[in-house]
Structure 1
């Protein structure tokens, strides 16, 4: 096994995803191991780890598997177009879709900040109430 390939356990440790989650993402086609060892073990590269990190970061923002797949397709197509072979209209359409993901992510982050603020207010209210109660 070459040093640039990792087995699933190392990938799980690096991404903080469970083996089960990584296998689920494989089954749904979000990430495909780059290779297999002679013994049949899945082998991953840094690019596979980076892909899993994108998925991991999208999850708490509530993106669906289909949305994750769509974003990964967009970025894959843009990343592989280093020679500028995509027609201009297709490239612009991909960029528009990427911008829509950017807007959605920013909005979802803002929504989470609002939820966190409300949760912190609630926790502070409980703490204040507890300090006002007489000690038995």
Structure 2
């Protein structure tokens, strides 16, 4: 096995994703192991790990599998067309879709901050209430 490749257990440890989750992302086509060992074990590269990290970061923001797939497709196309291989109008279309994801992510982060603030207020109110409970 090449030192460039990792088995799924190492990838799981590095990404903090379960084996089951990684396999699920494979089944849905979000990430495909770059190779297989002679024994049939999935083998992943640093690029596969980076792809899984994108997915892991999108999940808490509530992006769907289809949205994850769309973003990965956009970034794959932009990366593959590094330079001037992509027509300008197609490149701009992909960049605009990427900007849409950026705006959506920022909005979802702000929504999560609001939810967290409300949750912290609630927890503080409960803690304050507990301090006011008379001793038996």
Q: Could you say which residue in structure 2 is the equivalent of 1:63?
A: 63
Q: Could you say which residue in structure 2 is the equivalent of 1:52?
A: 52
Q: Could you say which residue in structure 2 is the equivalent of 1:85?
A: 85
Q: Secondary structure at the match of 2:43?
A: strand
Q: Which runs of 5+ in 2 are unaligned?
A: none
Which runs of structure 2 are paired with 1:1-136 in the superposition (5 Å)? 1-136=1-136
Q: Which runs of 5+ in 1 are unaligned?
A: none
TM-score, length basis structure 2: 0.99
TM-score, length basis structure 1: 0.99
Q: How many residues align?
A: 136
The structure 1 segments of at least 4 consecutive aligned residues displaced by more than 3 Å after TM superposition are none
How far off is 1:82 after superposition? 1.5
How far off is 1:83 after superposition? 3.0
Measure, in 2, the Cα distance between the counterparts of 1:43 and 1:90.
33
